[in-house]
A = this chain, B = another copy of it.
Amino acid sequence: MNQPGQLRDLSAPECWELLAGAPVGRIIWSTATGPEVVPVNFTSDGSTIRIRTAAYSALVQKVDAERVAFEVDSISETDHSGWSVVARGQADIRYGADDGPTPEPWAAGSRHTTIAIAVDHITGRRLLPD
């Protein structure tokens, strides 16, 4: 019989390393009618997470100068092992040139706006195999 796995906290360097290797994350922000979330591809450099989006997107309209969360995870359905990382910080919109590497958007359309999340808090957990 499967025993449920143990959770272990990850260090900040471990979190950044796992974040850097993840293809897709989820940016999460609060609205008056509840939290919102959208999966995005991204870049990270150990202090800032960057996303590219369209200037008219809901993201850009809502997250500028707001605190957001950014989540990545990788969890195996087979043995229930895996990890998750949540980075938190202030999002800032940069319409023109940015000072860091930005990701190539996967979705079609004009996506020349960068959202930069200045991460001030990063936590993560590893779920050990059954």
Chain B residues in 8 Å Cβ range of A36 = 69, 86
Bound complex: CA A37 to CA B127 (Å): 16
The reply on A5 being an interface residue by CB < 8 A is yes
28 contacts between A and B (CB under 8 A): A4-B107, A4-B108, A5-B106, A5-B108, A6-B107, A7-B108, A23-B75, A23-B77, A24-B73, A24-B77, A26-B26, A26-B37, A26-B71, A26-B73, A28-B37, A30-B34, A30-B35, A34-B88, A35-B69, A36-B69, A37-B37, A37-B69, A37-B86, A38-B84, A38-B86, A39-B73, A106-B130, A107-B127
Chain B residue, CB-CB nearest to A79: B106
